[in-house]
Amino acid sequence: MKLVTFHCRGHRSIGKVEGTQVIDLPASDRSLPGTMLELLQGGPALMQRVRDVRAAEAVTYPLADVRLDAPVPNPSKFLAIGMNYRKHVQEAIAGGITVPDSQVWFNKQVSCVNGPFEPVQMPRVSDRLDYEAELGVVIGRRCRHVSEADAPSVIAGYVVCNDVSVRDWQLRSPTMTLGKSFNTHGPFGPWIVTPDEIADPHALQMRMLVNGECRQEVSTGEMIYNVWQQIAYLSTVMTLEAGDVIATGTPSGVGAANKPPRFLGVGDVMRVEIDGVGHIENVVVAEAA
């Protein structure tokens, strides 16, 4: 399934995409909740009711007529791993960054969450705006101490992410959080693709295009730490909640690593594509006064 949060005809709802139609789930079945978090928290029984809703008997809208929001507009956590592709690690080392021998994690504060096709702001305080194409994972249930073997069972689905980064602010703190958390700098979507549609999350082609030029391209199979290892590592430390978003790392080709650097400017268009998941596209705009 492809699950969405959307706006249409003056209201916000959650839905299921079938072909070129969006099924408005709570409008079609009053027993279904009105938000994605509630749906994910409802577990397998609720998700099965979603699967049972058929377009022929439901309230639907043309996909072209709705505005897609971030599938989970209010996750409790937005976590991202750094240095998870070997060529990107080489870029970092060449730039003077020390890379540890363990997984490198940071927070993107959830106020950065943005829709899959909404503008991304160029901060007034920096001109070092950069892009990072990433496969995202949405957690499907509350969990702790998850083994690598059990990790697939806690995943609600997959999304396309752009870990938009402000490079000079990223260096202001060892945690990197400030440079990763500017408002609008966490677009993801366009929908949650459930695991039954993704045979192997480590066999997907991913690319970043800026103004139509391919800047990043990789197979997710080139991750240093795979998705299962990431979930096992994080859940050793903290409880993961339904709706939490995990960005699984970016490959080489970021703007900061170019010589000279190729940072983004107002008017630039970033498009992240992941085969089997979808694409998101965001234009850079000046931050409002």
Domains of the chain, earliest start first: 2-68 (no CATH), 78-286 (3.90.850.10)
196/180 Cα distance (integer angstroms): 31
Tell me: pLDDT of 253 over 80.
yes
Can you give the pTM of this predicted structure?
0.96
Give the pLDDT confidence score for residue 92 in this predicted structure: 79
Lookup: tokens for 251: 């490959």
Give the pLDDT confidence score for residue 270 in this predicted structure: 98
Lookup: tokens for 115: 């829709």
| DSSP strand pairing (205-210 vs 120-122) | unpaired
Do residues 103 and 81 make contact, with C-beta atoms less than 8 angstroms apart? yes
- Confidence band, pLDDT 50/70/90 cuts, at residue 288: confident
| DSSP strand pairing (120-122 vs 278-286) | parallel
Give the pLDDT confidence score for residue 98 in this predicted structure: 74
- Mean pLDDT, residues 225-231: 98
User: Tell me: the pLDDT tens digits for 80-95?
Assistant: 999 999 988 888 777 7
- Give the 3-state secondary structure of residue 229: helix
89/83 Cα distance (integer angstroms): 5
User: Tell me: the pLDDT tens digits for 212-224?
Assistant: 999 999 999 999 9
Give the pLDDT confidence score for residue 174 in this predicted structure: 87
| DSSP strand pairing (186-193 vs 245-247) | unpaired
12/17 Cα distance (integer angstroms): 15
Give the pLDDT confidence score for residue 196 in this predicted structure: 97
User: Tell me: the pLDDT tens digits for 114-166?
Assistant: 999 999 999 999 999 999 999 999 999 999 999 999 999 999 999 999 999 99
Give the pLDDT confidence score for residue 126 in this predicted structure: 97
Lookup: tokens for 280: 């998101």
Give the pLDDT confidence score for residue 154 in this predicted structure: 98
Give the pLDDT confidence score for residue 99 in this predicted structure: 76
- Mean pLDDT, residues 253-262: 95
Give the pLDDT confidence score for residue 84 in this predicted structure: 96
Lookup: tokens for 208: 């970043």
Give the pLDDT confidence score for residue 89 in this predicted structure: 86
Do residues 6 and 69 make contact, with C-beta atoms less than 8 angstroms apart? yes
Give the pLDDT confidence score for residue 91 in this predicted structure: 82
Lookup: tokens for 149: 């073997």
Distances (CA, A) of 160 to 35, 183, 187, 277: 20, 18, 8, 7
20/2 Cα distance (integer angstroms): 12
